């Protein structure tokens, strides 16, 4: 990651009225939301084989 | 039955018979990927404990002076990042399916308390780094602890105390709570999805 992006500087911040958050933290939260929404629609790998009683 | 060992065994087998403790099948609704995140969180926790044990054996300054130490420190850091990432997605999933239903209140509570204990467990790690970052965090944390009136009990400027909390006391609590959480899940079973509401299942009006 360090080779792709220059991380050797203080983080940039998002500011809106009283709200303040670093860009890395905002990126992680957005990623969590994306993974959460995707997990609701995706099947677990190998789920068909392990299916048990309803 | 007189001995306490026999009573304990009977109570254990009654609460968690072997087929419940180690089941060989799960309900069909567990095919959704949202049910993976509890196991992923445990996988990250195992990686944290394993990498942290190696770091503890070599001492808190090892990662500053050897590249292999830096490697294990990075494994430790990123497994913590994944631990919280997976735990938050697991928490959201369980919250929106109201996972405390069906007598599962203790399952929910042990999970919630684990999250609350894991936070200071990670914070004490940040102040055990032995660098300027940890010094900055410790001086900021000191004011926070004093404002809560607990500064004399949790002195974040005392490296030895914080290191003990980080590598022994708080991990013991986290692992103990996670073990209890998993045993309670085994006992009560995985929470089923919420039923469709009458409005959603009713035939459309002509």
Q: Is B107 a member of any domain? A: yes
- pLDDT tens digits for range B167-180: 999 999 999 999 99
Backbone CA torsion sign across B17, B23, B27, B33 = positive
- What is the spatial distance between Cα A6 and Cα A28, in angstroms, rounded to a whole number? 18
Beta bridge partners of A20: A15
Give average pLDDT by consecutive 10-residue segment, chain A, 54 residues.
76 93 94 96 76 50
pTM flag (> 0.90): no
Is the pLDDT reported for residue B206 higher than 90? no
- Are the Cβ atoms of A51 and B28 closer than 8 angstroms? yes
Range of the domain at B155: 32-191
Number of structural domains chain B divides into: 1
- Cβ within 8 Å, pair A36-B35: no
The answer to the question of residue B199 being in a domain is no
Nearest CA in chain A to B85: A32
Q: Give the count of domains, chain A.
A: 1
- Please list every residue in chain B whose beta carbon sits closer than 8 Å to the beta carbon of residue A36: 34, 89, 92-93
**What was the pLDDT predicted at A5?**
78
- Assess if residue B25 is contained within a domain: no
| CB-CB under 8 Å, B85 with A32 | yes
Partner A, chain B 32-91, Cβ-Cβ below 8 Å: 32-37, 81, 85, 88-89
Does residue B12 have a pLDDT over 80? Answer: yes
> Which candidate from B25, B32, B81 shows the least CB-CB separation from A44?
B32
What CATH number is associated with residue B66?
1.20.810.10
**Is B6 contained in some domain?**
no
Tell me the average pLDDT of chain B. 92
Residue B184 lies inside a defined structural domain of this protein = yes
Q: Is residue B9 included in any domain, yes or no?
A: no
Structure tokens at B127: 């102040």
Looking at residue B1, its pLDDT comes to 58
How far apart CA B148 and CA B168 sit, in angstroms, is 24
Residue B11 located in a structural domain = no
Distance from C-alpha of B4 to C-alpha of B161, rounded to nearest angstrom: 38
For chain A, the maximum distance between any two Cα atoms, rounded to a whole number of angstroms, is: 54
Does residue A3 form part of some domain?
A: yes
Any domain includes A50? no
Distance from CA of B152 to the nearest CA of A (A): 31
**What average pLDDT score do residues B133-144 get?**
94
Q: What is the pLDDT of residue A6?
A: 81
A39 vs B93: CB contact, 8 Å cut-off? yes
> Residue A8 sits in which domain range?
1-40
């Amino acid at each position: 990651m360090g080779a792709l992006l220059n991380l050797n500087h203080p983080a940039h911040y998002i500011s809106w009225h009283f709200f303040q958050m670093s860009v890395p933290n905002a990126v992680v939260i957005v990623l969590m939301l994306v993974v959460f929404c995707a997990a609701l629609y995706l099947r677990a790998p190998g789920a068909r084989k392990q299916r048990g009683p309803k | 039955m007189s001995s306490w060992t026999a009573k304990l065994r009977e109570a254990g087998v009654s609460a968690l018979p072997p087929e419940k403790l180690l089941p060989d099948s799960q309900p069909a609704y567990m095919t959704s990927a949202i049910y993976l995140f509890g196991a992923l969180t445990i996988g990250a926790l195992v990686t944290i404990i394993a990498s942290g044990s190696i770091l503890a054996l070599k001492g808190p300054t090892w990662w500053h002076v050897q590249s292999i130490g830096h490697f294990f420190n990075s494994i430790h850091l990123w497994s913590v990042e994944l631990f919280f990432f997976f735990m938050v997605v697991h928490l959201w999933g369980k919250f929106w399916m109201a996972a405390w239903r069906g007598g599962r209140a203790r399952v929910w509570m042990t999970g919630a308390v684990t999250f609350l204990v894991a936070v200071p467990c990670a914070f004490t790690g940040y102040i055990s780094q032995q660098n300027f970052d940890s010094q900055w965090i410790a001086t900021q944390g000191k004011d926070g602890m004093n404002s809560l009136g607990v500064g004399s009990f949790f002195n974040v400027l005392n490296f030895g105390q914080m290191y003990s909390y980080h590598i022994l006391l708080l991990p013991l609590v986290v692992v103990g709570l996670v073990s209890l959480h998993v045993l309670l899940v085994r006992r009560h079973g995985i929470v089923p999805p919420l039923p469709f509401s009458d409005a959603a299942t009713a035939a459309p009006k002509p």
